[in-house]
Amino acid sequence: MPRSNWEGFISFGLVSIPILLFTSEDTSQKVVFHQIDKRNHARIKYKRVNAETGKEVPWEDIIKGYEYSKDEIFEVEEGELNRVIGENARTIAIECFVNADSIDLIDVEKTYYVLPGKKGEKGYVILREALSKSKKIGIAKVIISTKEYLAAVAVHENALVLYLLHYNNEIRSLSEFDVPSTDLKKYKVTTNEIHIAKQLIQSMTKKWEPKKYVDEYKETVHKWAQEKAKKLPHTTMQQRAPASKPGKVIDFVGLLKKSLKESKSKAHARQAVGLKKAAIHAKRHSAMKYATKH
C-alpha cells in the first residue's frame, strides 16, 4: 500500500475517527525532465549555501525559520508549531454539512483518499454511510505542510475523500475578465445556431468512462525517447487545427451541421476500430514500461 501523507483524526460532534490521508495523484506517471550540462550531459545539482559565508550547509545544521519582518527571522524548534497550534495540527474538524452539489469544481485544489487508522473502521463506515445516504458533504479545516486549508469531506464510491478547497479570496472573480455577455443579439447569435449546437452536443453525449482517456503527451514523449535512443528521427504530436483568423465571418450553422454529420459517422466508425485501438494501446503500454526500466 502507498505511504500515507498525513495521520490524524476526523471529528464531527463528539465523534473522533483516526484516519490516514493518501494523495490520489500517482506522481510516478508524470513526464519528468532534468537539467543537464549541454557540454557533457551531466546532471545539474544544487547546493544549500549559507547566504553570508557562501559555504555549503549540511542537512543536520538546517532548521526552520520564520520571517517575522524583513530583518528579523525567528528560529523554529522541532515540534514548537504543533504545541502552538495544539489539537488542530492533527484534526480535521467538520464544522458543518452542506448539500453534495454545493461544491464547484473551480474550488477544488487537491484530492486525498481518506482511510481509517487503527481501530477507526467503525466510525469511518458510520460517517461514510451517513454522508452517502443524506447526500451531504462535511466542511472542515485541516493543516497540511504548515498551511491551513478549507476542506470538504465527501464520499467517492466506497471511500471517504478529502477535497482541499481554495478560500473564496484565492479565486479570481470573473469580473476581472472580458467574458461575453448573455446578450445574444450583440454577437449575432441565432436560435437556429444554438439549436444545431444542442443537436451536436446530444449526438456526442456518452457515458463518462475515464479509463478510455490516456495521457497522449506522455505516450508521445516515451515514443520519441525510444526512437531517439535508437538514433532515429523523432515523431511529433498531431497538430491541432489552426484557430480561425480574427475578423473572419464564421458560418456556425455550416460548421455545426458538418460536425453533427461527422459525429454520427464517427460513432459508427468507433465501433469498428475499438478493438484495434485497445490492442495498440496495450502494445504501447508494454513498450513504455520497457523504456522506463531501461
In the chain, what's the furthest Cα-to-Cα distance?
72
pLDDT digits (tens, 9 = 90+) for 62-113: 888 877 777 788 787 766 666 666 566 788 989 899 998 888 888 898 999 9
Q: What is the predicted pLDDT for the residue at 165?
A: 92
Q: Choose from 76-85, 209-218, 257-266, 272-281 the range with maximum mean pLDDT.
A: 257-266
Nine cell digits for residue 53: 559565508
List of domains in the chain:
6-26+82-170 (2.40.290.10), 180-239+248-293 (no CATH)
Q: Residues 260, 199: contact at Cβ < 8 Å?
A: yes
How far CA 5 is from CA of 2, 23, 124, 144, 252, in Å, comes to: 9, 7, 18, 9, 50
Share of the chain above pLDDT 90, in %: 19
Q: Residues 21, 112: contact at Cβ < 8 Å?
A: yes
Report, as an integer, the average pLDDT of 231-255: 56
pLDDT digits (tens, 9 = 90+) for 132-161: 999 999 999 888 877 888 999 999 999 999
Return phi, psi of residue 24, to 5°: -80, -10
Beta bridge partners of 165: 108, 150
Report, as an integer, the average pLDDT of 162-184: 89
Report, as an integer, the average pLDDT of 168-172: 87
Nine cell digits for residue 281: 494501446
Return phi, psi of residue 139, to 5°: -105, 125
**DSSP 3-state assignment of 47?**
coil
At CA 288, angle to CA 282 and CA 291, rounded to 5?
A: 145
Q: What is the predicted pLDDT for the residue at 84?
A: 63
Q: Residues 61, 68: contact at Cβ < 8 Å?
A: no
pLDDT digits (tens, 9 = 90+) for 197-223: 889 888 888 887 877 766 666 677 777
Nearest-angstrom CA–CA distance, 6 and 221:
33
Nearest-angstrom CA–CA distance, 8 and 184:
52
Report, as an integer, the average pLDDT of 263-284: 63
**DSSP 3-state assignment of 236?**
coil
pTM for this structure?
0.60
Beta bridge partners of 56: 49
